[in-house]
Structure 1
Amino acid sequence: MRLIFMGTPDFAVPTLDALAAAGHDIAAVYSQPPRPAGRGKALTPTPVARRAAELGIAVLTPVSLKGAEEQAVFAAFGADAAIVAAYGLILPRPVLAAPQFGCLNVHASLLPRWRGAAPIQRAILAGDALTGVTIMDMEAGLDTGPMRATTQTPVAGKTAGELTAELAALGARLMVEVLADLPGHPPLPQPEQGVTYAAKIDKAEARLDFAAGAVAAERQVRAFNPAPGAFFELNGERIRILSAAVEPVPGAPGQVGDDRLLIGCGADSLRPVRVQRAGRAAMSVDDLLRGFAVAPGTMLG
């Protein structure tokens, strides 16, 4: 098929690679514009834009697709379909309608649960046992379009980073399967029951809430790894917890319970395993405490 691919972060790269490997004619890749990054704040192309350039595919990075000129450029490619994976820009109706078979989206949840911007993190925070990928036809609503295929996987203690990589690979394979047999994957309406919305992550949510219990805090740790990183404050310094375990030991919320940084969460406690100080490399809790003693009884901010 003649395709347009639209995506921005690392999550979308496996789908782009899979489409190219399957022999599809990718007429163009759309991605968000370069952003300042690194110490020098140099303009840096997105992961999808970089990969498209390596594949020798033309890359377009419009700020918006709402203008008639950009819509005409899009339609002129004469695509059979547009494949969308975490693109990050709203697609107006003329864009959605331009390809012969419309725009197909790789969405990282089992719709209709977790429509919206942060389905992977929200699934972890909510304690979902399963998540997955849905291939759907896009329409004007927020992730409301009919579904063509789904695949699922256990959340099973995975971090957002681990789950993102796994779902990216699953979504890439599933999209190739759907495109290979569109009639065999007819679009079916989403169920009306079970709709939830995955709001964009606010950095303030990464502050660990020990009063909510150790299970919820451990979910925060996994949901915000690698970014923005779940954290607590001590002596004015933010310390990120990268991995942790729940222990059935009661303790006052936020109070250190032993000399190995067990943190009270009410009926139970959180045991940090790997941590990171600001501007430092990740380390074990034992390594942290060798040069940064935290006495039992300390209250963490």
Structure 2
Amino acid sequence: MRVVFMGTPAFAVPSLKHLAAEHEVALVLTRPDAVRSRGRKLEPSPVKVAALELGLPVLEAKRITPEVLDALASAHADVFCVAAYGCILPDEVLTMAPLGCVNVHASLLPRWRGAAPIQRCILAGDERTGVSIMRIGHGVDTGAFCAQASCSVPGKTADELTAELAELGGSLLVSVLPTLADGSAVWTEQDERLVTHAAKIEKSEMRLDPAMPATDNARRVLASSDAAPARCAVADKPVRILSTEVLDDVAVEQGTYSVSGRRVLLGCAEGVLEVVSLKPDGKRAMDASAWAAGLRGKQGAWGLLS
């Protein structure tokens, strides 16, 4: 099958690799080089890097121009496959390929439509999430889906869950394409009564709060990222919390921290959060035990950053 692939971040790379292994990828469309890290240098998208390694033709575009439309038409693809491309596709693109345009979305639709489905499922305490192969429509992730696959959520970071779902999505995508070709794909319209929305994560949502249960704070740590880190102040020191454990067998007063045997314990509204690793502002990431060794007081206050 002849395929055009559209994608940009690391989540999309497994889909591209699965497609390239089993089909002819005629063109890869990705967003242009951009500043993607703290180095402040232009970097290619993960999809561009993977496509070039695979020897595939790449076109960079941040919007669908007449020139892009010409390139897509010239590819003579049977189907367009999309995974987190990051650009609204006009009707002309959606209907250009004979088998249409399908998208790999990182949730079990209709739950978590939108920009941040992976982080939202972690924050909500979902037991399971997954991927959906869906048609692209005019609304945000509103199209019918023809296949889904799931995995467990608890205990996984956003990065870990993203990697797992990316592989799951790539495998599911290539398994679906033959059903599009022979007409056996069964499409399910989304039940609007079950819709939840996955809005972009704001930095303020990731602040750890002693007024919240330890489990909720722990989920914020798991869902955090460089763009929206889990932060708080411990002993008046601003820190990013990298990993934690929820403890039920110890007691620490809400809003206070305690260093016990070089373990840093944070008292929450319900339960206690043990800090396993953290990154103080302006310093490297470290184990909480090493950081605790430099604290003068073994008890004190912790709370929201202002």
Give me the TM-score of the superposition, normalised by structure 2.
0.91
Please list the CA deviations of residues 68-116 of structure 1 after superposition, one character each: whole Å capped at 9, or x if unmatched.
3432332232211111111111111111111111111111100000001
**1:87 and 1:255 mapped to 2: Cα distance?**
44
What displacement does 1:237 show?
4.7
Helix, strand or coil at the partner of 1:211: coil
- Segment drifting more, 141-150 vs 267-276: 267-276
Matching residue of 2:230: 230
Matching residue of 2:134: 136
2:274 to 257, 271, 278: 271
Matching residue of 1:298: 301
Cα contact 1:251–1:267 (8 A) shared by 2: no
**2:137 and 2:92 mapped to 1: Cα distance?**
11
Say what the alpha-carbon RMSD is for the aligned residues.
Answer: 1.9
**1:133 and 1:208 mapped to 2: Cα distance?**
29
Matching residue of 1:28: 27
Matching residue of 1:212: 212
Cα contact 2:5–2:28 (8 A) shared by 1: yes
What displacement does 1:58 show?
1.4
Please list the CA deviations of residues 7-65 of structure 1 after superposition, one character each: whole Å capped at 9, or x if unmatched.
1111111110111111x111111111111245552211000011111111111111211
Aligned residue pairs total: 299
Matching residue of 1:165: 163
Matching residue of 1:197: 197
Helix, strand or coil at the partner of 2:240: strand
**1:190 and 1:71 mapped to 2: Cα distance?**
29
**1:273 and 1:294 mapped to 2: Cα distance?**
18
What displacement does 1:273 show?
1.1
- Segment drifting more, 40-49 vs 121-130: 40-49
What displacement does 1:288 show?
1.3
**1:289 and 1:108 mapped to 2: Cα distance?**
38
What displacement does 1:211 show?
1.1
Are the structure 2 counterparts of residues 3 and 243 from structure 1 closer, same or farther at C-alpha, using a change threshold of 3 Å? same
What displacement does 1:276 show?
1.8
4+ residue stretches of structure 1 with deviation over 6 A?
A: none
Tell me if 1:56 matches 2:52. no
Tell me if 1:175 matches 2:176. no
**2:167 and 2:35 mapped to 1: Cα distance?**
28
What displacement does 1:184 show?
3.0
Cα contact 1:274–1:284 (8 A) shared by 2: yes
**1:225 and 1:41 mapped to 2: Cα distance?**
18
1:261 to 234, 253, 264: 264
Cα contact 2:79–2:101 (8 A) shared by 1: yes
Matching residue of 1:87: 85
Helix, strand or coil at the partner of 2:273: strand
What displacement does 1:296 show?
0.7
What displacement does 1:201 show?
1.2
What displacement does 1:250 show?
5.1
Once the two structures are aligned, what percentage of the paired residues are identical?
46
Cα contact 2:236–2:301 (8 A) shared by 1: no
**1:201 and 1:84 mapped to 2: Cα distance?**
22
Are the structure 2 counterparts of residues 53 and 146 from structure 1 closer, same or farther at C-alpha, using a change threshold of 3 Å? same
**1:266 and 1:285 mapped to 2: Cα distance?**
21
Helix, strand or coil at the partner of 1:98: coil
Q: What are the residue-to-residue correspondences of 1:79-158 with 2, within 5 Å?
A: 79-158=77-156
**1:134 and 1:209 mapped to 2: Cα distance?**
34
Are the structure 2 counterparts of residues 299 and 155 from structure 1 closer, same or farther at C-alpha, using a change threshold of 3 Å? closer
Helix, strand or coil at the partner of 1:139: coil
Helix, strand or coil at the partner of 1:148: strand
**1:52 and 1:237 mapped to 2: Cα distance?**
44
